[in-house]
């Protein structure tokens, strides 16, 4: 009886290690792994294996993020929806100001990204490039506004269609908590004060 339990434990331990490797190392042009790839490599109970791995990662301040092909299902996702979804490992709980420096982005670049993303969210997910550029030009020189937008598009945060409309792309869907961002932006003076104190520190 005990032997069967140990075997089961070893089975899951092996699969959790394999899942971690699949998720951490990039295998395609874009990071992350599709659900069907995980199913093929880990077996049909891969959602359970990911749950256990997520618990491990939580202790390290990381999480497994699931990005569904369409909108996030309101109820428990079906196996078909999970198969089509993409799974990533992301940081959990956001960064502290000091940590942001470690990412290698200039503060101007992060602020510009914040502006572009939140403006597109406010415009129901689609905004003309010209409007976003104008908004960036309020605080950045023209050449930089254009260069930054190109960088956001190249990195997968934004996408542009032939009509010059900007959309949120796969990386924003994977990395940015939309609701939280808008709430933070619309938050009161108290929150702003707290952030200013953090900057001063």
Partner 1 sequence: MASEKRPSKRLGRERLQRIIDLCKSVEERGLDPFIVDVEDLIAVVREYFPQWELPEDLCLDAETIHQLSSVIKHQSDWVKHRSTSLYTDPFLLEEKIRRLSGGELASLFIRAWNPIVEMEQLSLRGLVEALSYWQSLLPLNERWAKTITLEREMGAATREELIKQRIMAEKAFSEELEALWTELRERTGKGGKIRYWDFIGADTYEETVERAYMTSFLVTYGYATLEIHRLEEEVFIKPFEKPESLVEKKDVVSVPFSIGEEDWRKWKEGV
Contact positions vs partner 1 (CB under 8 A) = 24-26, 31-32, 62-63, 65, 88-97, 99-100, 103, 107-108, 110-111, 113-115, 117-119, 121-124, 126-128, 135, 138-139, 163, 165, 171, 174-182, 184-186, 192, 195-196, 198-199
Is the CB of 14 or the CB of 126 nearer to partner 1?
A: 126
Measured CA to CA in angstroms, residue 56 lies from 41, 64, 89, 99 at distances of 20, 10, 12, 22
Is the CB of 4 or the CB of 98 nearer to partner 1?
A: 98
CA 39 distance to own-chain centroid: 22
In angstroms, give the least distance from the CB of 173 to partner 1: 11
Is the CB of 51 or the CB of 108 nearer to partner 1?
A: 108
In angstroms, give the least distance from the CB of 63 to partner 1: 7
In whole angstroms, give the CA distance from residue 121 to residue 126.
7
Is the CB of 11 or the CB of 24 nearer to partner 1?
A: 24
In angstroms, give the least distance from the CB of 146 to partner 1: 17
In whole angstroms, give the CA distance from residue 55 to residue 69.
24
CB 140 within 8 A of CB 146: no
Please count the CA atoms within 13 angstroms of the CA of 62 that sit on its side-chain side: 15
Is the CB of 10 or the CB of 122 nearer to partner 1?
A: 122
**Element spanning 67, H or E:** strand 62-67
In angstroms, give the least distance from the CB of 10 to partner 1: 22
Other beta carbons within 10 Å of 140: 19
In angstroms, give the least distance from the CB of 83 to partner 1: 21
Please count the CA atoms within 13 angstroms of the CA of 80 that sit on its side-chain side: 1
């Amino acid at each position: 009886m005990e032997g069967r339990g140990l075997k089961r434990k070893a089975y899951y331990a092996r699969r959790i290690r394999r899942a971690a490797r699949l998720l951490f190392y990039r295998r395609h042009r874009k990071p992350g792994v599709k659900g069907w790839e995980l199913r093929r490599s880990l077996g049909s109970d891969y959602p359970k294996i990911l749950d256990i791995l997520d618990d491990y990662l939580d202790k390290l301040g990381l999480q497994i993020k699931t990005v569904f092909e369409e909108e996030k299902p309101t109820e428990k996702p079906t196996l078909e929806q999970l198969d089509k979804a993409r799974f990533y490992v992301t940081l959990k709980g956001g960064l502290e100001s000091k940590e942001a420096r470690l990412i290698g982005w200039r503060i101007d670049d992060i602020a510009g990204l914040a502006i572009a993303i939140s403006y597109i969210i406010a415009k129901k997910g689609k905004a003309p490039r010209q409007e976003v550029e104008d908004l960036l030009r309020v605080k950045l020189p023209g050449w930089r506004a254009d260069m930054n937008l190109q960088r956001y598009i190249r990195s997968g945060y934004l996408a542009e269609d032939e009509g010059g409309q900007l959309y949120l792309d796969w990386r924003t869907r994977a990395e940015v908590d939309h609701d939280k961002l808008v709430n933070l932006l619309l938050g009161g003076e108290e929150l702003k004060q707290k952030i200013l104190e953090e900057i001063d520190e």
